[in-house]
Homo-oligomer: A and B are copies of this chain.
């Protein structure tokens, strides 16, 4: 299961070429990707001549009305996007897909990830007179494409992709083609599928399953797939590629029923829990998972350690909806209403509570407190990933050291801070071991180790994140 919390994925994308129900399938696919972004959503469709779109703020049903969806019903190709704001202010003009109306032909653009040299490129383009419509880094690609001089769109695109750095899964819709491109490190997931003969791509395989499509394969780092009426063209824009899929996709972001390389996240998380049980040596009466994202790790922990797995914590379903807010104060308040302990289950017990990560520590602290007030005799905490020490520049909404408790405190200090009897993190090696067992060829672990695989050109200072471009 999945969750909304301190760590936020920035986006989910979906695209489909030449299917009679393109818009509706996109809507359904976006719905199953909603966990990847709740701030806004949009769909852009092609009727073969022009592109049309609908988009809005909020969850999918708020962002796109039935009437809007109906207005897109007859188009055969579409891209869609759900958004969580990492860069760019939280306002409608930043909601994707972007739709550029241009004398060269309309162009739709959807981006999952974060560019690390967008500011540099933007500044250069502005020097030459370009005027940007949004404060989003994603718009840069549109400008590069319209500036390009070659008559071949694909060669323009490959040139543009080679100029941008960072993490990206880009979908580009034009009247005569849909293009999907993944950055040369494959930081964000992108899956290829097919339904009724039509090709589609999605951030996660759960979206393919939700619409009844077949999940064919994972798109590779540096790959560029073009879909048009001649079928699919497979190519690469990057000469050098590496596998550096985001570790947190396994640990936390992806839906448990999604699969990477045909292995379900559910089983990966159970294995992370088993690995944690191997590394953590604590006697206890029960092991409980923090719902929803850590239930599988708790199950894995229980099955390896033999300690019974119980549901000792409830999650209030209505909180997430209520308090999705970038406001720190409101987030803290939300913590209190989010989890409820079940007294009968924990009273008098030595409890191991499993969570997938600790960001600021506030939630952990509250959970420990709640369990103790419900009568738990001892509370031990196991984290199914290593300590989060470094900001992510590739699309995750934790960009400052100050927000990461493990960036400036030792494990023992954190243990004291959250007032737990013992605290154990999974080791970095243990984590990579688990991923390898599921055929992963390499992961980005920069948030744990500080080893950033892609250069950070913009050197975005934390405080600058706040200075959002405000337009009228």
Chain A residues proximal to chain B, CB less than 8 Å: 1-2, 28, 31-32, 34-35, 42, 44, 52-55, 59-61, 97-104, 122-123, 126-133, 135, 142-143, 146-148, 206, 209-210, 255-257, 259, 263-264, 266-267, 291-292, 295-296, 299, 310-311, 314-322, 337, 340-345, 469-472
* Copies of the chain in the assembly: 4
Q: How far is the CA of A17 from the CA of B44 in the complex (A)?
A: 43
Nearest chain B CB to A365 CB, angstrom units: 17
* Contact among B131, B132, B210 with A143 in the assembled complex (CB-CB below 8 Å): B131
* Contact among B1, B129, B311, B340 with A206 in the assembled complex (CB-CB below 8 Å): B340
**In the bound complex, do residue B131 and residue A103 qualify as a contact, i.e. CB atoms below 8 Å apart?**
no
Additional 16 contacts, C-beta under 8 A, given A98-B472, A317-B317? A1-B315, A52-B472, A59-B322, A60-B322, A99-B471, A100-B131, A101-B471, A129-B147, A130-B131, A131-B146, A210-B337, A257-B314, A257-B341, A264-B345, A266-B311, A292-B317
Q: How far is the CA of A135 from the CA of B148 in the complex (A)?
A: 23
**In the bound complex, do residue B59 and residue A318 qualify as a contact, i.e. CB atoms below 8 Å apart?**
yes
Residues of B within 8 A of A296 (CB): 311
Can you give 9 A-B contacts (C-beta < 8 A)?
A1-B314, A2-B317, A31-B316, A32-B337, A34-B318, A52-B472, A53-B472, A206-B340, A295-B311
* Contact among B54, B131, B209, B263 with A131 in the assembled complex (CB-CB below 8 Å): B131
**In the bound complex, do residue A320 and residue B317 qualify as a contact, i.e. CB atoms below 8 Å apart?**
yes
* Contact among B52, B103, B130, B267 with A344 in the assembled complex (CB-CB below 8 Å): B267
Closest 9 CB pairs of A and B: A53-B472, A129-B147, A264-B344, A99-B472, A34-B318, A129-B146, A103-B126, A61-B322, A257-B340
**In the bound complex, do residue A337 and residue B31 qualify as a contact, i.e. CB atoms below 8 Å apart?**
yes
Nearest chain B CB to A422 CB, angstrom units: 26
Given known pairs A104-B126, A345-B266, the reply for A317 and B35 (CB within 8 Å) is yes
**In the bound complex, do residue B129 and residue A103 qualify as a contact, i.e. CB atoms below 8 Å apart?**
no
Given known pairs A52-B470, A55-B472, A341-B257, the reply for A143 and B129 (CB within 8 Å) is yes
Centre residue among A59, A101, A126, A146 by max chain B CB count within 10 A: A101
Q: How far is the CA of A337 from the CA of B32 in the complex (A)?
A: 8
Residues of B within 8 A of A320 (CB): 317
Residues of B within 8 A of A32 (CB): 316, 337, 340
**In the bound complex, do residue B263 and residue A344 qualify as a contact, i.e. CB atoms below 8 Å apart?**
yes
* Contact among B31, B99, B337 with A318 in the assembled complex (CB-CB below 8 Å): B31
Nearest chain B CB to A421 CB, angstrom units: 23
Closest B residue, CB atoms, query A345 = B266
Q: How far is the CA of A311 from the CA of B319 in the complex (A)?
A: 23
Residues of B within 8 A of A133 (CB): 131, 133
* Contact among B55, B104, B344 with A266 in the assembled complex (CB-CB below 8 Å): B344
Residues of B within 8 A of A147 (CB): 128-129
Residues of B within 8 A of A340 (CB): 32, 206, 209-210, 255, 257
Residues of B within 8 A of A103 (CB): 122-123, 126-127
Residues of B within 8 A of A345 (CB): 264, 266-267
**In the bound complex, do residue B337 and residue A311 qualify as a contact, i.e. CB atoms below 8 Å apart?**
no
Q: How far is the CA of A209 from the CA of B336 in the complex (A)?
A: 11
Residues of B within 8 A of A143 (CB): 129, 131
Q: How far is the CA of A291 from the CA of B318 in the complex (A)?
A: 16
Residues of B within 8 A of A299 (CB): 310-311
Closest B residue, CB atoms, query A129 = B147
Closest B residue, CB atoms, query A323 = B61
Residues of B within 8 A of A104 (CB): 126-127
**In the bound complex, do residue A343 and residue B257 qualify as a contact, i.e. CB atoms below 8 Å apart?**
yes
Q: How far is the CA of A291 from the CA of B291 in the complex (A)?
A: 12
Centre residue among A44, A147, A342 by max chain B CB count within 10 A: A342
Residues of B within 8 A of A267 (CB): 344-345
Q: How far is the CA of A102 from the CA of B129 in the complex (A)?
A: 9
Residues of B within 8 A of A291 (CB): 1
**In the bound complex, do residue B256 and residue A342 qualify as a contact, i.e. CB atoms below 8 Å apart?**
yes
Q: How far is the CA of A341 from the CA of B255 in the complex (A)?
A: 12
Residues of B within 8 A of A318 (CB): 31, 34-35, 59-60
Closest B residue, CB atoms, query A2 = B317
Q: How far is the CA of A210 from the CA of B321 in the complex (A)?
A: 18
Given known pairs A31-B337, A343-B264, the reply for A256 and B314 (CB within 8 Å) is yes
Residues of B within 8 A of A54 (CB): 472
Residues of B within 8 A of A34 (CB): 316, 318
Residues of B within 8 A of A35 (CB): 317-318
